[in-house]
Structure 1
Amino acid sequence: MTSIASPAGRLQTLTALFLTVAMAAVVGTALGFEHIGGYIPCKLCLEQRIPYYAGVPLMALAALSSTLHWPAWVTRGLLVVGGLLMAWGLFLGVKHAGVEWGWWAGPTDCGAVAAPVDTGGKGVLDALNTFVPPACDTAALRVLGLSFAGWNVIASLALAAIAFRGAFGKG
């Protein structure tokens, strides 16, 4: 394993570029399911996006620092931060998936998210009567047995491993 002070190289550049695109794709998919698919995120769903919102610009900065040959510790340090953010995302995904499977209780204020703005041609009061807020303990959709939170666990784990490999790998 290489230290964080070792020179940054092609591996770090490619890792940072990949992570920038991959993190943007993951959170973009979540936003697509929300805005195009109509899936309203719960409180825990929204929390799981935070590591990606922070990670995308940081990984873009890591790619820039590697491309511009800034000190290697900057690029490698940013990749470590990206790995830690994805580890946090992994924790948040496991926490939410556990709530969905009934392994532990979720937050009591989970349904406290904004209602959709589109009233579907109805009046505001009619739309409020038909709006069902999301619940943290119910998966909105399962694909191959995994909820959105479950897929986030897999994505976060893979991206964390890639970030740490890029941070400590020989460039």
Structure 2
Amino acid sequence: MPFVLAILAALAPAFAKLSEGWFELVPCELCLWQRAPYWVAVPLFLAAGFLPRRRGLFLVLGGLACLVSAAIGGFHAGVEWGWWPSPLPGCAAPTAQGMSVEDLMRSLAPTPTKPCDAATFLIPGLPVSMAAMNAIYGAVVALLGFGAARRR
């Protein structure tokens, strides 16, 4: 089970990165934040597979890392739905109020970004954004990790 969990944890950020190329999606700053906890979870789940004496601990820690990503995804979904603003400065759309064109051009990010409140819907007709899907997916992987630790 730890190796399956490691694969599941790696699939989420890998799919997000691939969707940038396949679907030409541009991630926002919160989208990028959601990926990092999975890369923490992968070695923790692998350690659970290779270190049977500490398997339960590593499964719980890997599950917590996935839960962090799920929490960021849930927070991001709340930003998309307008429940609260994002505290990250990179999440706001640039405005030109009181700026010259030259100042505005200098303030733009070197790579394209999108505002965090602009939801990305991957499946047409399904009103669940990628952030909300990540919240669900991260929670499921976390619960699987916790369940595997408990069975131990």
- Same fold, TM-score > 0.5, yes or no: yes
What SS does structure 2 have at the residue aligned with 1:110? helix
Alignment coverage as a number of residue pairs: 134
Q: Give the Cα–Cα distance (whole angstroms) in 2 for the partners of residues 102 and 53 of structure 1.
A: 29
Q: Does 1:34 pair with 2:16? A: no
Separation of aligned partners in 2, 1:52 and 1:18: 14
The residue that corresponds to 1:139 in the other structure is 119
Q: Which runs of 5+ in 2 are unaligned?
A: 93-104
Which residue number corresponds to residue 100 of structure 2?
none
Q: Distance in 2 between matches of 1:132 and 1:81?
A: 34
Residue 88 (structure 1) aligned to one of 62, 65, 68: 68
Q: 1:52 aligns with which of 35, 38, 48?
A: 38
Structure 1 spans left out of the alignment, 5+ residues:
1-13, 113-124
Q: Which amino acid aligns with 1:51?
A: P
After superposition, the CA RMSD in angstroms is 2.0
Counterpart-to-counterpart distance in 2, 1:46 and 1:108: 12
Q: Of the two, which has the highest radius of gyration? A: 1
Give the CA deviation at 1:162.
0.4
Question: What is the deviation of 1:111?
Answer: 4.2
Matched residues, percent identical? 34
Displacement of 1:108 in angstroms is 4.8
Task: Give the Cα separation in 2 of the matches to 1:20 and 1:101.
Answer: 31
Which protein is richer in helix relative to its size?
2
Alpha-carbon distance in 1 for matches of 2:135, 2:22 = 23
**Structure 2 vs 1, CA of residues 89 and 108 (structure 1 numbering), >3 Å: closer, same or farther?**
closer
Decide whether the 8 Å contact of 2:121 with 2:127 is kept in 1: no
1:110 is displaced (CA, Å) by 2.5
In the TM superposition, residue 32 of structure 1 has moved relative to its aligned partner by 0.5
| Pairwise CA distance, 1:166 | 0.6
